[in-house]
Structure 1
Amino acid sequence: MSDDDKLIDLNAERAKRVHDLNDKRLNEVRQAFEQAMPLAKPKKKPRASRKSAEQCASIDPGQFPASPSSLM
């Protein structure tokens, strides 16, 4: 067994530690920001309902008053 198998890359381990610390700090700042200024959920705009072909076909033309052109 060689000694190379047991060697630890200290620079890589330090980089991992620094990365983990930065992630931890970022999460803390993010949580503090969310508590101070919570994000509002967007309100859904009501959609205007469109008349379907069935609804238009079911309208009786006799329901409406005579058009001005037919009165002349």
Structure 2
Amino acid sequence: MTPPMIRDAMFDVTRVGYDPLAVDPLLNDIASRLEHDQDIDAERLRGIRLPMTRDGYDPGQVDDLLDRIRMECETV
């Protein structure tokens, strides 16, 4: 995945979901690390716990994106 794909990821909003104020900075950090050839800790992504909020991002969609990023990091 490219940094723009990560930054531009869009998620459905659900009644209760992941807090965008936690998800967006996380994805920006990951994209920035990729742009600067810095390591991404795949295990950290596996264990990450994001706060929930009303009208948050769909957890399944966010988890799927983080899983794809993690799998790419493990194959590099």
TM-score per shorter chain, which class?
Answer: under 0.3
Give the TM-score, by structure 1 length. Answer: 0.27
Tell me: higher relative CO, structure 1 or 2? Use CA pairs within 8 A at least 6 residues apart. Answer: 2
- Greater Cα radius of gyration, structure 1 or 2: 1
Higher strand share: 2
